[in-house]
Amino acid sequence: MKWFLSFFLCISFIFLAIFGINCIYGTIFPVKYKEEIALASKEFGVSEEIIFSVINIESHFNKNAKSSKGAVGLMQVMPSTAQGLANEMNLTEFDLFDAKTNIFFGTKYLAQLFLKFEDMHTALCAYNAGPTTVKTWLSDEKFSIDGKTLEKIPYEETRNYIEKFDKNLKYYTEKLK
């Protein structure tokens, strides 16, 4: 009888540990707006895992998020950036608090940065710190040897952004398989 109780407790512990870890990871790495992300991914050729990762870092999937600098929505798109994108698409009205619109604009902008900067981490630095700032870093030998990739990232916030991105990307790549 003791062996049965020990066995039962052991199995219960394992089940709770696995269930608990999945609950924690589901809170830390949510999977929301799958349809909107899939559409934007297909439209702009940016992987779903990258989009999920950026959204999680930028707003933790809060479509009503607004930063102190004025960035808005899930992907924390600056209104001036959104206006430029809207002009490219001949749109006169848009709502950055609308999940589909924000994901569409944010992903379009990411795709443009990936083309402009070629290196994924450099493009993500531009998404976080701004393309003009990143161009300045790339032209400085203290930060870039080849003018295309960053050996050092001067802003702590941007360094942390890239570290968070890599962790998110690893998780979402496994999760979305």
58 among known catalytic residues? yes
Burial of 121 per CB tally in 10 Å (0-12, 13-18, 19+): middle
Distance CA 12, CA 154 (A): 48
Distance CA 84, CA 105 (A): 10
Which string of DSSP letters, residue by residue, matches 63-97? TT-B-TT--BTTTTB-HHHHHHHHHHTT-S---TT
Token reading at 97: 């608090």
Q: Which amino acid is at 39?
A: L
Number of neighbours of residue 135 by Cβ within 10 angstroms: 15
Phi, psi at residue 115, to the nearest 5°? Answer: -70, -40
Catalytic residue, chosen from 36, 49, 58, 156, is: 58
* Residues identified as active-site: 58
